[in-house]
Structure 1
Amino acid sequence: MQLTTQALMVQGTTSDAGKTVLVAGLCRVLARRGIVVAPFKPQNMALNSAVTIDGGEIGRAQAVQAFACGIEPTTDMNPILLKPNTDIGAQVIVQGKARQDMDAVAYHNYKPVVMGDVMDSFARLQQQYQTVVIEGAGSPAEINLREHDIANMGFAERADVPVIIVADIDRGGVFAHLYGTLALLSESEQARVVGFVINRFRGDISLLESGLTWLEEKTGKPVLGVLPYLHGLMLEAEDAININQHKGDGELLKVVVPVLPRISNHTDFDPLRMHPNVDLVFVPKGQPLPPADLIILPGSKSVRSDLAFLREQGWQQQIARHLRLGGKVMGICGGYQMLGRTVADPAGIEGEPGVSEGLGYLAIDTELKAHKHLRQVKGTLQLPEQQPVAITGYEIHAGVTGGVASDAPVQLDAGPDGALDMDNQVFGSYVHGIFESEQACQAILQWVGLHNAQGVDFAALREEGIDRVADAIETSLDLKKLWPEFER
């Protein structure tokens, strides 16, 4: 099938309006019809990232969208990734590789430079695929960001692509969001908007029809469809952490994750969140760590400052008490580094140069270096009194860790990884995605004390989630208005 629309861009009235999920669903709809399709996001700001097959780093959302297309993610799918390391600055990653740290003002002035990289990546995708589904960032109506914009209408105008605008009715004010967003665009930008999508609707759609009619009459733009609220949807969040997901009391393994200011790749914990025998709780600033079977220190974009924050919250003493009571502690990537004796940053890679004392539970020392390790990995995990099990995942870290034993609990194709304390209570590893490996997840839960533990087929859950979104799109959106070749 040949498509008249060679590219389509999804923009939103707000952050978290549903752009990421809609793009993933549209990609799956196209792939089902035999269309060779790829996702694209010109600029992403997120601390959740993935390692691509070509050895670069992109937002995890684009990796999920690539899976929806049935293809491997590449760096061209997200040419600009911003990873915040302070409230006013971020590491700028261009086509998969860290270029430099910039504050917000410097990056704003730098956007015309990286627009060339954005367009190069987009051109390569257009050459390789029949169509490209593009995700915007935030909202195109953010007046203060319109100059030098590369993420929304600035890109759409440069690439000359049609745009649909999605809004989340669950937030309230959906008609004001859509009408106001369109009104704040220039005439040429308004002209390329081909329709609206309303997301996360609950209830009887007949109650919405008068509003839909009003919106179409006022704007001259069609409402392409109203997507239902999909309860229990399993798709990875781009950056938001849902801290209100306590499953309640009962015979569940209690897992606690402290939320650090620069927490990275919190999607590591999605398989635990979905596990029927695990109650996963994220603990925000200002709250004590509740009683738990397992405390997991997550990845961090700024390890030393997050380690200082952990101490400021009193969590160090609470972790020590947890261990005295026989609990287990695990660290992933930056959290693994924190569990060691020292974390040194002599070159100021992540902040002010210096050395921080670690929590001291693992006999390792880490020095941060400019070169970032980016690689997909596979190997085995062996915890005490268990057989080795297969593990796959990825590494994203700037640290080089010394003291790792040749018989470390994780044996990767790249060499030994991780450490375990002498009391068999503290375990750490650099491997992100460790719980996505079903056998590894099962092994860790057994190590913590969940008898007859089972893993979760996370890949199957993700596929099911993508299919649910695609099914809803097929049912609820007028796809022929986007692609006249389609039959309902």
Structure 2
Amino acid sequence: MVQGTTSDAGKSLLVAGLCRVLARRGVSVAPFKPQNMALNSAVTADGGEIGRAQALQAEAAGIPAEVDFNPVLLKPATDRGAQVIVGGRSIGTLDAVAYHDYKATAREAVLAAHARLAARFEVIVVEGAGSPAEVNLREHDIANMGFAEAVDCPVILVADIDRGGVFAQLVGTLELLSASERARVAGCVINRFRGDPALLQPGLDWFTEYTGKPVLGTLPFLPGLHLDAEDRLDGSAGSGEGADRLRVVVPALPRISNHTDLDPLRDHPGVELLFAGPGETPGADLVVLPGSKNVRADRAWLREQGWDAALARHLRYGGRVLGICGGYQMLGHWIHDPEGCEGEPGSEAGLGWLDLETTLGPEKQLHNVTGRLEPEGATVAGYEIHQGTTTGSDTARPAATLDGRPDGARSADDRVRGTYLHGVFDEAEARRTLLAWAGWSGEGDSDHHRRRADSLERLADAVEAHLDPAWLASWAG
């Protein structure tokens, strides 16, 4: 099990790297995260929903994603409540107190999923969540040491030296563990190191003498990895240069979800991709309204930040707008939530750029799909994760046909499109078509799938080169 001194210490990447190392050595390996809290998710081959990081780790292991890889997924909808997904399906929205009471049931689901995987795979590489030193969450823990002790697995602790204070992170975490938990830690890994390793060696020697724990390796800082983020959103991206590049602006919604939809544009040579924060409404050729875990609240946030006037100006001067999932729902006249699926029951006026309205409901649509963009016919592939039904006259002009059925809507002047398809930019033909629709006429593209595969290989190469070979061999045979 890989646990971290903090969130974003490198747990997800280290698990992915270990899965790829073991897979290419012929070991049957699966990733596992007992409990994940993230708004980036994926649809599995068996029709459930898991954290996107576990789908990436499954790809690293060379196997299809399954719901058992992440049996409990928490998707925050408000500051106090989250949608709880168990075994790939939503059981509803719970606040922190109610979820604490539910943990005994969640623990059973976690242990049952792990047992099923243990019967099929030689090695399971488990990812923790946050930090095991969060003493307020120790009771009924299923995410870190509570799980490790339940299944009796060793733990390696990873810390991010780029944050500073790496030895304080490691020593402080170990000090806050119980004696049995501390004994379970087989060693530590330092992540994101840049510089001369000789300068770090005295600290490594001190750490091992002080704690009795070996440092299993120091992973270098690896810039330019093109891998799905578990949840963190970068403020800006894009490699496009020159006056002819297309500017794509994405409002950084407070509850933005599945922003990995924009990853294929990050390294596109003709695109400048910007995520606009509070108070920012920069000029753009294309505005993409992304997915949201609380559509009504994020729609209200757009209004507060001045996006209603900004979008009207943008469209008046010939710009284009694309809404994906929750962003699509915001483009209609109304978003109704009569059952309080994402907060208090009620309705919120939409942006009104498409003649439609959406009624949210408790049942979630989960599908991996293929199809074509309308009206161009470009091939698309991706997945749907959404709640609610959308109706209205503009749905007679669908944005896509997915598995033989219409999806989304287009305005009469075709300046505004909306779709439920996540991954709409993933396929090269669809990406070229949508960028041409938005006004880009340049040459060149980036192979998103190839770059992700190359990044996994590069990550695995670093793990093999910098982690203790004897420790790796003990897992790989």
2-structure distance, mates of 1:335, 1:244: 19
Is 1:391 matched up with 2:380?
yes
2-structure distance, mates of 1:32, 1:166: 23
What is aligned with 1:154? 146
Three-state SS of the structure 2 residue aligned to 1:203 is: coil
For 1:171-208, what per-residue CA distance to the aligned partner results, in whole angstroms no more than 9, with x for missing partners? 00001111111111111111111110000000110000
What is aligned with 1:6? none
2-structure distance, mates of 1:401, 1:30: 45
What is aligned with 1:4? none
What is aligned with 2:299? 307
How does the TM-score come out when normalised to structure 1?
A: 0.95
2-structure distance, mates of 1:453, 1:353: 48
Amino acid at match of 2:380: I
2-structure distance, mates of 1:485, 1:296: 44
Amino acid at match of 1:186: S
Three-state SS of the structure 2 residue aligned to 1:101 is: strand
Write out aligned runs for 1:31-180 (5 A).
31-180=23-172
2-structure distance, mates of 1:85, 1:409: 27
Deviates more, 1:100-109 or 1:248-257: 248-257
Q: CA deviation at 1:224?
A: 0.5
Write out aligned runs for 1:200-279 (5 A).
200-245=192-237, 250-279=243-272
Q: CA deviation at 1:142?
A: 0.7
Contact 1:182/1:190, CA 8 A, preserved across alignment: yes
Three-state SS of the structure 1 residue aligned to 2:360 is: strand
% identical aligned pairs: 59
Q: 1:329 is matched with which residue: 316, 321, 329?
A: 321
Three-state SS of the structure 1 residue aligned to 2:99 is: helix
Contact 2:236/2:273, CA 8 A, preserved across alignment: no
Is 1:425 matched up with 2:415?
yes
Distance 1:462 1:209, change over 3 A: same
Three-state SS of the structure 2 residue aligned to 1:16 is: coil
Contact 1:445/1:453, CA 8 A, preserved across alignment: no
Aligned residues: 475
2-structure distance, mates of 1:409, 1:367: 19
Amino acid at match of 1:450: W
1-structure distance, mates of 2:404, 2:78: 32
1-structure distance, mates of 2:253, 2:277: 8
For 1:296-329, what per-residue CA distance to the aligned partner results, in whole angstroms no more than 9, with x for missing partners? 0000111111111110111111111111111111
For 1:41-61, what per-residue CA distance to the aligned partner results, in whole angstroms no more than 9, with x for missing partners? 000000100001111100000
Q: CA deviation at 1:414?
A: 5.2
Amino acid at match of 2:253: L
1-structure distance, mates of 2:41, 2:469: 31
Distance 1:398 1:204, change over 3 A: same
2-structure distance, mates of 1:429, 1:100: 25
1-structure distance, mates of 2:190, 2:434: 41
- Give the alignment's Cα RMSD to 1 decimal: 1.4
Amino acid at match of 2:384: E
Three-state SS of the structure 2 residue aligned to 1:291 is: coil
Three-state SS of the structure 1 residue aligned to 2:119 is: helix
Q: 2:188 is matched with which residue: 163, 172, 196?
A: 196
2-structure distance, mates of 1:376, 1:237: 20
1-structure distance, mates of 2:370, 2:396: 17
Q: CA deviation at 1:244?
A: 4.1
2-structure distance, mates of 1:28, 1:117: 27
2-structure distance, mates of 1:377, 1:246: 27
Contact 1:38/1:66, CA 8 A, preserved across alignment: yes
